Structure 1
């Protein structure tokens, strides 16, 4: 049926309207698409270019050089050395076993390291390098490089590793570094990304650990192009990091090394303080250990040998060890009595060899007693009964107050591990910590440095420096960071009468220079370098009444671990103190025999800046001292130690 012209016209109008609507929609869609493409390609071009770059470019960290350590004279104590290692990339090697076999003909491969490397290769992507041998020699490195064409996948590499040229001489002060462990990371709230670099080394103990943030430095970075599976194709650019701070210590390496050699294998410690500045010149503990063993991970056998040694070579006894100070504490008891006006230099006490207190007998070291003694005699001959009597009158509170002024019971802020507070006991301490009341016998024991009193060799050296100068000397270990001098604590004058201090010093002088002094055998003959000191012997066992009745067993006849500790403190020169010294020899017996000779030798070495003349020693000792000096000079590192100009 044919449509009429009117119907045809109406249909045409409808079709035209639909075409216009459809065309308009298509035009709008194409226009929107164009605008969107313009937005993405022009306005957002930089952002999408960055995303594309991140898909093919990685930013990797470059470990910085660790700061080095020096003594006060610029002698290197810890440095970074090139560390040569051999790595293998499994996918480049092809037949791994065959390549390793050829490598073994050139370099000795440790079976344990090889097993570890094979395990690591099995669980790592084939394009990642795995270390086969570490810390190889330059000659081995050269042989591998020359034979590189026959060793596909093998790469000799050079890195930096920590080295301690003085080995054990500074081990307890400097500490050591080691690879970052999961335990190390667990202790840090927001770990530095550097710490996740394989085999990255951080300080584990000692100054290396305490100054880790200063020594580590800031990481550098490099941009490398990688393919789809993460393999490095090329390096695009690099930004070097900031090396760690160089640290200069107050330690005198020559004196430290001499002291370690002088101690030998004794279980002992020595601290030397500069009386003028508080600088620690020597902080020695013996026996010691080689920190280089820990840098790449110590073997089980080596670690067991250190931990099973009853002389505890890993312990920094000079700052961590606390001991009853014995008679070296008597100066504190005497000062407390002088300050309170309880005694003067003319007052005497009768010593029959013991004192009865609360139905208990407290003995003097001299069984027959000292008879009538005044303050000077009591210090010179170390009469226990004299100080028992003083303590009963002055009381523990006044004694503890003087002890605190002189540095006992104080934890010094030094960058070393486990610096001990010691114990300066008071009535309140015993009630709080032990839940017991203070009794008079506690005061008597404390008066001669026994009972609850504990002090470290560091604290005893500071105590002696304060007695010598009358100033509130504080110990300092870090001299400078990157050449910038680190200020010490400016000492104040002690709140102790100077006349009373002079009386104590005179008593200490007599200990070493009077014929009846307990350390007369360890005196210095040179008038300009005369020392003033005090011996100490602290018991580590209880002596029963039955043993006293039949005669106290000599230290020489006891097992080593049951012998008394030997102590000696001194300062010198007497007229113008330069150094204060504290020596503790664990289970050494008497302080006059075991500790005083060491202190005298170390003091002379410090004052002369090297081997002292034989004329400084008593004539009867010079033959023995000459032999000793010749033996020790062979053990003390000298000119071969690398120096660095610190100007």
Structure 2
């Protein structure tokens, strides 16, 4: 028997063992690497995921606080609606990315599949409305107006509608009490964005993904107070999603109540009368252009003269803020942002800018007094004023001879102010200004509050423009290249202006100061600035910061934070000048004044009325109508773009607003039962024991309720079809 040596097998066995060892070590190395990757490199991520698998957070959005008028009438509140929402996160996990589910949902909601899909697509710079500009991880409302039957179809067939919910939800409602939309004042809401969530993390008022935030108006200014705090409940669940118990609960807090100084009744009157004035003037022919007046935009402000609180603020064109609730449609969004609709989102009371025209003459009269001219001296109101080879005509080219500055306001005499503006320009050195040039007209305008923000508590206020020497220089430096390129000596009017501006646009010229003295040229003002200035004349000289918010009340009604009137300065004139201005403005509505024909029968002995009319010229457009008025309690400013004269276009509407406030008929008879607000509202609304606020009923404005039979007029004067030619301003 042959013996096989052991050494013969050894190499093969060793090779096999070596291979096995390599494989084992490779497997161990792979396993170790994988464990290191899972536990160390991505450990935090997977730990967080693991925790998420066992703790689920349920967010209950806070009920947004209501916005009330000064008497407690809701301007914005909440109502319960059936809201159908879609979860993009869940839909994206489905093989077809939820297309079939959304198509079925469209059939239930009587919508097209495209309408539904557009609702839940994410907004970016290239995506048109509608789209979702909130967080992609929160439920996206498809409709806020589902019927009970539609909600039941969705909830009874969850297998057909994964990622779709139908729940009763508190939804914002803009109530429009008495027809008062108050659109631009209130603003609107839209979902919070991821960027806003990140920015708010470090603050004491962080956002949740379910939040709706204010985008404009007082919804934006007082968003923090109105928003409240959402409730968050965390549940422990097993891997199958079964609830094992409650981990923690952070109860929500409803938003606070905002009481405003707006009176919904006066707001309804202001909105109606502004719209009606614009509608009426569109039927009239502009004698300058031969066309009907366009009256394309307008604004009205009603303010408490002694506090700066805004009682009403209307802007035309306006819109229904409910269009934003639940996501705005493409059609509605186009209406609100298109040139054809003239941008109704703009609040023209604080964002509308136009030359001032003659309402600016209170500034010029004040500046003249500061420069050393006596208010009661005589100044020549000639038919025109000449400077070199240029002539500046009085309105309607009619003169009144030597008159005081008070009469210059009464008759709205341009030439008095032309002459004063020119003289002060010369005193300051003309084209070679002195080092210590006073620039009284420009300084006074700024100290009246023009050319700067009033500080009103709604966002996006514009500053207007006071074209003084500094502005002229800055404007020229910014535009000279374009002017030099466009300008042409002896060319068209625009080309000639560009040519002259290229060469010497940085200089404050004589005609600049002449035009400025009557609120023309490059000057721009806003209605809220004008209301603040005229209120100051009314109250003796104090400039108040305009406010709409009046008080913030906690949800239980126990904590009330009043927003008190805040003065920010005084008019730059002494008490004697203010009294003279007051007397001159009173004469404007008395016989011979430019607004007298609109205030016939007014009870001047009981409720003294003061006014200034203005007709501002705008290159390439029809004239802008301005009317500034005040009584002892209220200041009302109205403007209509391309609406003609101040008294002609705005006069009837302003008179009607006052009649409604004081309960007056055309003859000046007062009925306090019909008076909406015979004196400013001082007290806050009554808070009930449960924290709710008592709200009085409000009826829609009836313009015919103030009218009386023409035969009953008590002023003893024939009705005027229009003013005398020399009083149209």
Normalising by the residue count of structure 1, what TM-score does the alignment of the two structures yield?
0.74
Give the equivalent residue in structure 2 for 1:365: 395
Paired residues of 1:392 and 1:440 also in contact (CA < 8 A):
yes
Cα deviation for residue 192 of structure 1 reads 8.9
**CA RMSD, Structure 1 to Structure 2 (Å):** 3.8
Name 1:160's counterpart in structure 2. 170
CA distance in 1, matches of 2:198, 2:419: 55
Question: TM-score under structure 2 normalisation?
Answer: 0.66
CA shift, 1:342, in A, is: 1.4
Q: Are the counterparts in 2 of residues 470 and 496 from structure 1 also a CA contact under 8 Å?
A: no
Do residues 430 (structure 1) and 508 (structure 2) align? no
Q: State the partner residue of 2:491.
A: none
Q: Distance in 2 between matches of 1:313 and 1:71?
A: 22
Q: How far off its partner does 1:132 sit?
A: 8.0
Q: Is the 1:279–1:477 contact (alpha carbons within 8 Å) kept by the matching residues of 2?
A: yes
Corresponding position of 2:55: 57
**Offset of 1:176 from its aligned partner?**
0.2
Aligned with 2:463 (options 392, 405, 421): 421
CA distance in 1, matches of 2:142, 2:318: 29
Corresponding residue for 1:356? 386
Residues 1:155 and 1:540: Cα distance change in structure 2 (over 3 Å):
closer
The farther-off stretch of 459-468 and 431-440 is: 431-440
More helix by share: 1
CA distance in 2, matches of 1:259, 1:405: 29
> Structure 1 residue 536: deviation in Å?
0.3
What are the Cα deviations for residues 490-547 of structure 1, in whole angstroms up to 9, with x where unaligned?
47664522222222222211211123534433345223224110000110127xxxxx
CA offsets 1:308-332 (integer angstroms, 9 cap, x no match): 3354312100001111111001111
Q: Which residue of 2 aligns with 1:203?
A: 214
Q: Which moved more, 1:355-364 or 1:144-153?
A: 144-153
User: Closer, same or farther in 2 for the Cα pair 1:88/1:479, shift >3 Å?
Assistant: closer
Query: Higher mean Cα deviation, 139-148 or 274-283?
Result: 139-148
- Of 111, 134, 145, 1:136 maps to 145
Report the equivalent of 1:342.
373
Aligned match of 1:46: none
Out of 371, 384, 407, the residue aligned to residue 449 of structure 2 is 407
Pairing partner for 1:75 from 70, 73, 86: 73
User: In the aligned structure 2, how far is the partner of 1:117 from the partner of 1:381?
Assistant: 59
Instruction: Please give the residue correspondences for 1:80-99 in structure 2 after superposition, counting only pairs within 5 Å.
Output: 80-86=78-84
> What residue in structure 1 maps to residue 419 of structure 2?
389
Q: Is the 8 A contact 1:93 1:151 kept in 2?
A: no
Counterpart of 2:612 (choices 513, 520, 534) is 534
Cα-to-partner distance string for 1:444-486 (whole Å, 9 max, x where unaligned): 1110001122110001111111112223231122100113211
Provide the C-alpha distance between the structure 2 equivalents of 1:379 and 1:160, rounded to a whole number of angstroms. 54
Aligned: 1:320 with 2:351: yes
Decide whether aligned partners of structure 1 residues 430 and 55 sit closer, same or farther in structure 2, where only a CA change above 3 A counts: same
Task: Tell me the secondary structure at the aligned position of residue 385 of structure 1.
Answer: helix
Please report how far the alpha carbon of residue 364 of structure 1 lies from its aligned counterpart in structure 2 after TM superposition. 1.4
Tell me, yes or no, if the aligned pair for 1:219 and 1:242 is still in contact at 8 Å: yes
Residue 330 and residue 161 in structure 1: after superposition, are their counterparts in 2 closer, same or farther (change >3 A)?
same
Match of 2:653 in 1: 598
Matched residue pairs, number? 541
The answer to whether the 8 A contact 1:63-1:220 is kept is: yes
* 1:632 matched residue in structure 2: none
Residue deviations 1:166-185, cap 9 Å, x none?
18721111100012345756
1:644 lines up with 2:642 in the alignment? no
Stretches of structure 1 lacking an aligned partner (at least 5 in a row): 1-48, 121-127, 543-561, 619-625, 630-642
Check 1:114–1:462 CA distance in 2 against 1; reply closer, same or farther (3 A cut).
closer
Find the counterpart in structure 2 of residue 398 from structure 1: 440
1:465 corresponds to = 535
1:478 to 516, 541, 549: 549
Judging changes above 3 Å, is the alpha-carbon distance between structure 1 residues 401 and 606 closer, same or farther for their aligned structure 2 residues?
Answer: farther
Residue in 1 that maps onto 2:668: 616
Quick check: 330-339 or 360-369, which moved more?
360-369
Report the secondary structure of 1:445's partner residue: helix
Deviates more, 1:421-430 or 1:287-296: 421-430
The counterpart of 2:637, out of the listed 582, 588, 605, is 582
Alignment partner of 1:173 is 2:164: no
Residue 21 of structure 1 corresponds to: none
Tell me the residue number matched to 1:288: 318
User: Larger C-alpha radius of gyration, 1 or 2?
Assistant: 1
